[in-house]
A and B are shown apart, each in its own frame.
Chain A
Amino acid sequence: MNAFQYATAHSTGSARELVGDKGAYLAGGNDLLGLLKDYLISTDTLVNIKSLPGLGKIERGSKSWTLGALVTVAHIENDADIKKAFPGLHEAASEIASLQIRNVATVGGNLAQHSRCWYFRHRDIQCLKKHGGLCYARNSENRYHSLFTGNDCISPVVSSLATTFAALDATAIVLRDGKELRWSMADLYADAWKNPYAHNSLQPGDLILRVEIPTSRSRSAYMQVSDKHTFDWALVSCAAAAELTDGKLKSPRVALGSISPKPHEVAEANEFLDGKVLDDATATRAADLILRDAKPLEFNGYKVPMAHALIRRTLLKLKGDV
């Protein structure tokens, strides 16, 4: 990797100051160090934010819960209350990477992680996302890529937490030059949808502080399919959340990962589901709506039936037997 300065920040203010325009925040470092070691990015200053006060906590409110950006994925996975309040979040956390990675991976890092596209990650390929002229994946090996995109890059978002937060209608609080911005997951990835060079909407110096999850949906579920049974990226992931009263869905939300540069949500499907009795036909109709505009490429068409199955299963899982 290229040389950089290293500093530890003890307040968000000093963190912002230290990181400047060309620095990067270091928390778990799973993605960041890999990017640096592969010379995919370089940074003049690495700002250790692990000592920032208050960001490692889970706060349990009546209307919403707050996860600090430094809360680890393993913490989410192992927290018994989260498992009760947001079972889908527990399920998503427990499927991320390996135990070793989950122990250090943070909420903020999971949301901010960069594209896993194998062209982007390749040291000798200057793809569109790296300001080259061509999206190689669009024209060649696209088995792991998007069914939906608003630009020429087809690299999908792979954050399982983002998928689940989207279904739970969570809000990311981002610190930008001293001001707190409140972003939905759609906001957080809006730039990736329209801009091939972006993988999220964060600007240099922006820092994810925490995520607020409303408690209004007591039911949630997450499922993914990978080539392997564990420690493998999702080919498709799906999260769903709702309140269920008298067998009827209230405020349902479904989101999918790994098929679009942002968590894939279709408002029409959520509206269709609202007030419906949850059964196979309903779930199937929702899946149809969610995938209606999918644009499969040469090698990723399998994601359509896979996503369809996952949507149905994840929705039906909301019924639970609990």
Chain B
Amino acid sequence: MPSWPAETKYISHATTRIDGPAKVTGRARYSSDIQENGWLYGMILRSKWPTAKITDINLDKALQIPGIKAAVLARDKNMTVRYYGEELAAVAGTTKQACLDALRAIEVTAEALPFVVRENDAKKPDAPRVWENAPNYPAPRARDHGDVDTAFGQCAAVIEGFYSAPVQIHNPMETMGNTVSWTDDGVTAWSSTQGISSVRDGLAGSLRLDQSKVRVITEYMGGGFGAKFGAGVEGVLAAKLSKEAKAPVRLMLTRFDQALAVGNRPSSFQKIKMGAAADGTLLAFEAENYGTAGIGAGGDSGGGGGGADIPMPYLYKVPNTRVKQSAVAVNAGSARAFRAPGNPPASFGMESAMDDLAVKLGMDPLEFRLKNDPNKIRQHEYALGAEKFGWKQKYQKPGSSPGVVKTGIGCAGAAWPAGGPSRNTNGEAQINPDGSIEFRLGVQDIGTGTRTVIAVVAAEMLGLKPEQITVKVGDTRFPPGPGSGGSTTCASISPTVYDICTKALEQLQTLSGIADARGENWFKACKKIGINPITVHGQWIEGLSTNPAGGVQFAEVDVDTETGLVTVKKMLGVHDCGLIIDTLTLESQINGGIIMGMGYALYEERVMDDLSGVVLNPNFETYKLPGIADVPEIEVILVNMPERGVIGIGEPATVPTAGAIANAVANAIGVRVGSLPITPAKILAALGKVPPATA
């Protein structure tokens, strides 16, 4: 069985990103930076109806706009659209303005149909149907374990709560999009994607081309979070436009587009009843959950489902459970995998219920968790975190903080069942006689530091420095690797690089006669390989990586009970990391997860208008995201467990944040705000300060 070295120089230490200089100087090329010869802008016309029968789409006038080189239909002239923003057609032209003019010149004939955009409305039997042949709200699926009704009778305390979270929109820094060039030789797509292979296969399938005729390149990309596994409608349209125009087409979505049709995290409405014995042992759990995945869980969901189901009961051991779950369809864009699908809403609901029950039992919420969480690693993390956070010194009874601005603390846990490797990971290294070495892996860096991880592992194994390693990723011409989702990349590529390095050292030994070609001997050994470089192939191997991953987080907040403003003062994350590869990229990823979780807790919400059926906040003015002034001191404790091998932590980092903050808010003000995001308006309502409507 292979094993990682016990003494390390780079693994588990801090290495700055090897591509940092390229990023900060602008040398790094993102998909939106690609400017192939003769490239055109591409833009998409979207439905302005939430539901309609389209009977004609006339592109003639668009094609007459000066500068317009192509116009294509998204599907057909006759089609039913089921949400505001669904794609109708696309144009390509020499300027942005020409495209905008062309979109306005396209004539669409449509008959508007009844629609429903809110979950509660869609559940009603007389609501307009999103899909003609299926009810909006199918009967919930029920799962029963033990005897819930009897168990509730034996509880010393029982709480019933309602916890809800809205649809969260995918808003990576770089919007979705591609530059696509279709020539007689095939298609090349510079994609902003988490999965170059899945985009290649998707494009080939949609365009009816051999997979070998499609090449996907992702040198750099600005975040995906689950939204960017497939070619997407926008990718296919860019390809069709390129074919029609006989020129490369760059089609990047706008922020407006991004709010409508690229997938999102489903909403979640959880009715939870939970009871425990007097000593705090959980006995019974009953829950009903539903949410909306819009018109459905979308395609392109690789790396995790985009459905509305969530794991229930989350984390804790409860002997008697009854869980009913369903999804409700509405006329809105479909859901898609979103960083730790299902887990952030599950953590928020369950962890809120845990605190509510702890309060009712008169127990410290942390003690209550330790009593019921069967996971040894989280137990350890809670202990570490509580000490560092000063939980015992800081914890006060709910609402007992004095003054107008009240302080509270809370904690919550995360699990991520995946976080392990994808076995189908391959790579190669070319070793040159001068000792230079280039690794090529058909994976992509979604911003987490993939190149740096490869360089760190290679440097460690070969006795070189990370800056001596050249790394190439993001090209389907390289040996194939997995999509970057489900927190799998690091655990997939690290053993692969290990394998390549082991094989490279073996070959060098044979070729050079030097027994150990590492470190000082590297260049001597390489000199002896002859005039041609050698290429060494490797793949993921067993024994160096594992799953799952988890973690716990603590939050401290101030709540102004007169204005409702919540200020997060401190976040502490304690996460198990398996064998840490690079502490810097790891901390950065946890920071990002926590900030994203803060958005979920306090700011983000897709607002649908029930009168018009549109998304009312398709911009960062009213779709609110945490800004730098909202982000507190974030402290991260990395629990290095080398014996477990490499795991991925991207997803668990964002799971418990909202629950921890919601609990801190409830601890501060003494009442529960059960609905995310926790806005000043909801704080004031929970405190009973809001007068009734007069009109």
Q: Chain A, 211-243, contact with B by CB distance < 8 Å: what is the 0/1 string?
A: 000000000000001011111110100000000
Residue of A1, A134, A306 with highest tally of chain B CB at under 10 A? A306
Q: How far is the CB of A36 from chain B (nearest CB, A)?
A: 12
Q: How far is the CB of A176 from chain B (nearest CB, A)?
A: 32
Chain B residues engaging chain A, CB cutoff 8 angstroms: 48, 84, 97, 100, 104, 256, 562-565, 567, 602-603, 607, 609-612, 614, 616-617, 621-622, 624, 626-630, 679-681, 684-685, 689-695
Q: In the complex, what residue of chain A is closest to B685 when comparing beta carbons? A: A302
Chain B residues near A229 (CB, 8 Å)?
Answer: 565, 567, 627, 629-630
Q: Chain A, 107-142, contact with B by CB distance < 8 Å: what is the 0/1 string?
A: 000000000101101111100000000101011110
Establish whether residues B616 and A119, one from each chain, have CB atoms under 8 Å apart when the complex forms: yes
Provided the pairs A116-B621, A305-B690 are in contact, do residues A141 and B607 lie with their beta carbons within 8 angstroms?
yes
Partner of B603, one of A118, A227, A299: A227
18 CB contacts below 8 A, A to B, read: A122-B614, A125-B612, A140-B611, A141-B609, A228-B624, A230-B628, A230-B630, A235-B681, A294-B691, A296-B690, A296-B691, A297-B694, A299-B681, A301-B691, A305-B684, A306-B562, A309-B563, A310-B563
Q: In the complex, what residue of chain B is closest to A143 when comparing beta carbons? A: B681
Within 8 A of B (CB), among A274-322: 294-299, 301-302, 304-306, 308-310, 313
Chain A residues near B612 (CB, 8 Å)?
Answer: 119, 122, 124-125, 136
Establish whether residues B684 and A296, one from each chain, have CB atoms under 8 Å apart when the complex forms: no
Within 8 A of B (CB), among A247-279: none
Q: In the complex, what residue of chain B is closest to A2 when comparing beta carbons? A: B101
Residue of A134, A138, A296, A301 with highest tally of chain B CB at under 10 A? A301
Q: In the complex, what residue of chain A is closest to B104 when comparing beta carbons? A: A39
Complex Cα distance, B566 from A20, in Å, reads 49
Pick the 6 closest A-B CB pairs, nearest first. Answer: A309-B562, A302-B681, A230-B629, A305-B689, A229-B629, A301-B690
Chain B residues near A125 (CB, 8 Å)?
Answer: 609, 612, 614
Chain A residues near B695 (CB, 8 Å)?
Answer: 138, 295, 297
Partner of A225, one of B607, B680, B693: B680
Tell me the count of chain A residues lying within 8 A, CB to CB, of chain B. 42
Main secondary structure of the interface of A (DSSP, over half): loop
Chain B residues near A297 (CB, 8 Å)?
Answer: 693-695
Q: In the complex, what residue of chain B is closest to A139 when comparing beta carbons? A: B611
Complex Cα distance, B83 from A7, in Å, reads 42
Partner of B626, one of A143, A228, A299, A308: A228
Establish whether residues A136 and B691, one from each chain, have CB atoms under 8 Å apart when the complex forms: no
Chain B residues near A233 (CB, 8 Å)?
Answer: 621
Establish whether residues A306 and B609, one from each chain, have CB atoms under 8 Å apart when the complex forms: no
Complex Cα distance, B99 from A1, in Å, reads 11
Provided the pairs A118-B616, A296-B694 are in contact, do residues A231 and B627 lie with their beta carbons within 8 angstroms?
yes
Q: In the complex, what residue of chain A is closest to B49 when comparing beta carbons? A: A124
Establish whether residues A296 and B692, one from each chain, have CB atoms under 8 Å apart when the complex forms: yes
Within 8 A of B (CB), among A124-176: 124-125, 134, 136, 138-141, 143-144
Chain A residues near B630 (CB, 8 Å)?
Answer: 228-230
Provided the pairs A124-B614, A136-B612, A298-B693 are in contact, do residues A225 and B681 lie with their beta carbons within 8 angstroms?
no
Residue of B565, B602, B603, B610 with highest tally of chain A CB at under 10 A? B565
Complex Cα distance, B611 from A124, in Å, reads 12
Chain A residues near B100 (CB, 8 Å)?
Answer: 1
Q: In the complex, what residue of chain A is closest to B613 when comparing beta carbons? A: A124
Q: In the complex, what residue of chain B is closest to A233 when comparing beta carbons? A: B621
